[in-house]
Structure 1
Amino acid sequence: MFVRELHLRDFRSWREIDLTLRPEPTIFVGRNGFGKTNLLEAVYYLGTLRSHRVSTDGPLVHSGTSAATVIGTVENMGRELTVQLQINAEGANKATINGSPARRARDILGILRAVMFAPEDLLLVRGDPSDRRRFIDELVAQRGPRWAAARSDYDRVLRQRSALLKTAGAALRRGGSDADSVISTLDVWDGQLADLGGQVTAARIDVLRQLTPHVTESYASIAPHSRPATLTYRASAGPDVVASDDVAASPEQIAEILLTRLAELRTKEIDRGVSLVGPHRDDIDIMLGDDIAKGFASHGESWSLALALRLGSVELVRAEGIEPVIMLDDVFAELDAQRRSQLVSFTESAEQLLITAAVPDDIPASIGGRRVAVDVVEDNGTRYSTASEVAAGEGST
């Protein structure tokens, strides 16, 4: 699988760019802040409908415009599909597949499978639970639209239920007959939240179960003298969600567990005005031996774990018979010689490798392919990015 063409309009720092790519390494070289990462971010967005850097779409749209356009032509085993995304600063995004409008933007999920390595990956080990939830949800979403639909619907129900909890609290404080009506409505939302939460949680645990052996093996190759690395799912609804052999209960069983916990916590939730249980409160424990890595692992161990998570993600996709596009966003500058060597060896078999670097010297000499210089220019006081091919043997400009 590889991206053959990439066209951007008003995406972050890029007014416009038309790139023809090949199944080989392509290295984008330029100073920090010139727009290299934005190119990889656009490709990653085609695969996940998410940025790896921000949680909303507004920052992706070039300043002064209302929408950005990302077009990618993806070739996979001789089959070619062209995806066009209109990313709106406000409102729902729109997508087409080979020129035909998609019913929803998420219908494009699964067309492109991509794995991004970035300096932000350290947050997977040292950051908040939301960073690890985002990681696993992106792996789930790339499997296709139906996997993303449950999470999208869950988020919608969660927002509505949380608003109702605040209304219920105010009604109970006022007293009167409207309190019973609000509580009755809350019962309906509890059922929907539990049902969708069961689907989201089961999908996460299934992916995590398949991912874990790949991460364990990758970490052992990077840090052979360290303790073994494993991943476990920690559900806010309690340990019954995951059986002792780390196999999830069915979505229906998880929904029943969630419904029971929601009933037990209702008074507390109404008092606080927030939903206290569900996949939005879950976490993934990254373990070194018997210890949770966060707060325990050294800096070197944390980087090895972060790298193993991404290497494991690539192997997870490969296990499905797909060779994903691999993107390395300025990661060589963050790694020591041993980890650089491991990453180079691992990516040698990639069909397409997209790399960014601030200086050419950050790129190991063994990586060939083409070089593209990224620069910025000013037009009427507005800075925007430009790109030019670097001839063989030349450095960056």
Structure 2
Amino acid sequence: MYLKTVQLRSFRNYREQRVNFDSQKTIIVGNNAQGKSNLLEAVELLATLKSHRVSRDRDLVLEGAASGQILAALERAYGQAELALILRISGRRTVILNQEPLRRQMDFLGVLNAVQFSSLDLDLVRGAPDARRSWIDTLLIQLEPIYAHILSQYYQVLKQRNALLKKFRQREEDNLNPEIIVEQLPSDISQLKLWDVQLAEAGSRVTRRRARVLERLTPLAQQWHSNISGKTEVLEIKYIPNVSWTEDDPLEVKQAFLEKIEKRRMAEQQLGTTVVGPHRDDIEFIINHTPAKYYGSQGQQRTLVLALKLAELQLIEEVVGEPPLLLLDDVLAELDPNRQNQLLEAIQDRFQTLITTTHLHSFDSGWLKSSQILSVEAGEIRDF
């Protein structure tokens, strides 16, 4: 796939900007806080409908504007596609494909595929579990767009169930106050049981898909990791589901959920929140039988994340049948010369690549000659 143009209107610090991509590799150079990362973020939003930097659409819209737009023209093996995403400070979005507004955002996903690698990803190893969950969920959404709907369903059930558990906890606190008489409501218990079943059904769909994609990704990451480390390190990736199961069978996994929910019922009612489910999953990275989170050096951690990103590219290409875009946001400065060379050699002309940097000395003359180079200053993009 090849991204031909991107047009930004009132997006981040861009008032009106059109970029034509005329090379397989584009280097975007400029000082910090000029808008380099914002351009890559726009492409990321078209691919995943998510930003890894902010969670509110109002933070993506130019200050003083009510809405912002991202428009793009894409060339794929099966033909051309035009994408448009309208973001509003109210939070209501509109997605448009080939000039037709879509009723379901899910139908927008999978048209443009991209892998983002930013300096923030280097915290993937040491960071909190939610960073690793977000990473694997973002990959899954690109491989299987229906997963966005599955994940949304799960969190809707989780929200409703938590509200009911919070109500139970408040009732327990009121029971401790002799001035307040609280009636037992069997209907609430019945309602919780219904939410238990829905949580188990939705949660089993999430955890089974996470396990499957990690099973496919792991050997690819291990091969890349071995190459980059010069075959001196062995990588293991372990999925640590909150609900343990052994056989990828919907009924068995659902039953495992229900059994754990029953075991933790008293704890959940006392805490007023759900403690069972994939919102508490984690992924562990192990290098030479040692958890990378606690003992890996900075170099080892960077090698690991680089291997994961290259594996993501390879897996998406295998599944969708076309190489995805690669978005490299200021990461070359974080990598030593050996890892820089491994990354640049892996890219070559295989993936359309957008790279942001504050300087050009990380690139050899061959790369510079074969790349389109753009400069960014105060939300204005020009030829370098």
Q: TM-score, normalised by structure 1?
A: 0.91
Gap change, CA 1:200 and 1:363, over 3 Å in 2: same
Q: Which one-letter code corresponds to 2:267 in the other structure?
A: K
- Uncovered stretches (5+) of structure 1, i.e. residues with no partner: 377-384, 391-397
1:335 shift after superposition:
0.8
Please say if residues 25 and 354 of structure 1, whose CA atoms lie closer than 8 Å, have aligned partners that are also in contact.
Answer: yes
Q: Distance in 1 between matches of 2:65 and 2:249?
A: 46
Q: Distance in 1 between matches of 2:302 and 2:310?
A: 12
Please say if residues 201 and 251 of structure 1, whose CA atoms lie closer than 8 Å, have aligned partners that are also in contact.
Answer: no
Q: Distance in 2 between matches of 1:173 and 1:225?
A: 58
Gap change, CA 1:195 and 1:372, over 3 Å in 2: same
Q: Distance in 2 between matches of 1:56 and 1:213?
A: 36
Asked if 1:205 corresponds to 2:225, the answer is: no
Alignment of 1:325-344 (within 5 A): 325-344=325-344
Q: 1:286 is matched with which residue? A: 285
Q: 2:380 is matched with which residue? A: 386
Gap change, CA 1:200 and 1:300, over 3 Å in 2: same
Gap change, CA 1:364 and 1:268, over 3 Å in 2: farther
Q: Distance in 1 between matches of 2:27 and 2:303?
A: 23
Q: What number of residue pairs does the alignment pair up? A: 375
Alignment of 1:270-281 (within 5 A): 270-281=269-280
1:268 shift after superposition:
0.5
Deviations 1:48-82, CA, capped at 9 Å, x for gaps? 11112223333212222232211122211151111
Q: Distance in 2 between matches of 1:22 and 1:46?
A: 19
Please say if residues 25 and 349 of structure 2, whose CA atoms lie closer than 8 Å, have aligned partners that are also in contact.
Answer: no
Q: Distance in 1 between matches of 2:169 and 2:218?
A: 42
Q: Which one-letter code corresponds to 2:296 in the other structure?
A: A
Asked if 1:318 corresponds to 2:317, the answer is: yes
Please say if residues 77 and 322 of structure 2, whose CA atoms lie closer than 8 Å, have aligned partners that are also in contact.
Answer: no
Q: Distance in 2 between matches of 1:345 and 1:197?
A: 40
Q: 1:381 is matched with which residue? A: none
Please say if residues 58 and 91 of structure 2, whose CA atoms lie closer than 8 Å, have aligned partners that are also in contact.
Answer: no
1:270 shift after superposition:
1.1
Q: Distance in 2 between matches of 1:231 and 1:22?
A: 38
Q: Distance in 1 between matches of 2:364 and 2:327?
A: 15
Q: Distance in 2 between matches of 1:151 and 1:177?
A: 36
Asked if 1:359 corresponds to 2:353, the answer is: no
Say what the alpha-carbon RMSD is for the aligned residues. Answer: 1.5
Please say if residues 2 and 325 of structure 1, whose CA atoms lie closer than 8 Å, have aligned partners that are also in contact.
Answer: yes
Q: 1:375 is matched with which residue? A: 377
Q: 1:180 is matched with which residue? A: 186
Gap change, CA 1:193 and 1:66, over 3 Å in 2: farther
Q: Which runs of 4+ in 1 moved over 6 A?
A: none
Q: Which one-letter code corresponds to 1:233 in the other structure?
A: Y
Q: Distance in 2 between matches of 1:272 and 1:339?
A: 46
Q: Distance in 1 between matches of 2:162 and 2:78?
A: 47
Q: 1:307 is matched with which residue? A: 306
Report sequence identity in percent.
35
SS in 1 for 2:239: strand
Q: Distance in 1 between matches of 2:100 and 2:106?
A: 14
Please say if residues 56 and 91 of structure 2, whose CA atoms lie closer than 8 Å, have aligned partners that are also in contact.
Answer: no
Q: Distance in 2 between matches of 1:162 and 1:288?
A: 37
Q: Which one-letter code corresponds to 1:316 in the other structure?
A: L
User: In terms of mean alpha carbon deviation, does 38-47 or 9-18 score higher?
Assistant: 9-18
Please say if residues 47 and 111 of structure 2, whose CA atoms lie closer than 8 Å, have aligned partners that are also in contact.
Answer: yes
Q: 2:153 is matched with which residue? A: 153
1:22 shift after superposition:
3.3
Q: TM-score, normalised by structure 2?
A: 0.94
Please say if residues 119 and 331 of structure 1, whose CA atoms lie closer than 8 Å, have aligned partners that are also in contact.
Answer: yes
Please say if residues 14 and 386 of structure 1, whose CA atoms lie closer than 8 Å, have aligned partners that are also in contact.
Answer: yes
- Uncovered stretches (5+) of structure 2, i.e. residues with no partner: 176-181
Q: Distance in 2 between matches of 1:294 and 1:153?
A: 31
1:172 shift after superposition:
3.8
User: In terms of mean alpha carbon deviation, does 118-127 or 88-97 score higher?
Assistant: 88-97
1:255 shift after superposition:
1.8
Please say if residues 72 and 83 of structure 2, whose CA atoms lie closer than 8 Å, have aligned partners that are also in contact.
Answer: yes
Q: Distance in 1 between matches of 2:112 and 2:121?
A: 21
SS in 2 for 1:277: coil
Alignment of 1:1-397 (within 5 A): 1-174=1-174, 176-238=182-244, 241=245, 243=246, 249-320=248-319, 321-367=321-367, 368-376=370-378, 385-390=379-384
Deviations 1:223-246, CA, capped at 9 Å, x for gaps? 0243211211101113xx2x3xxx
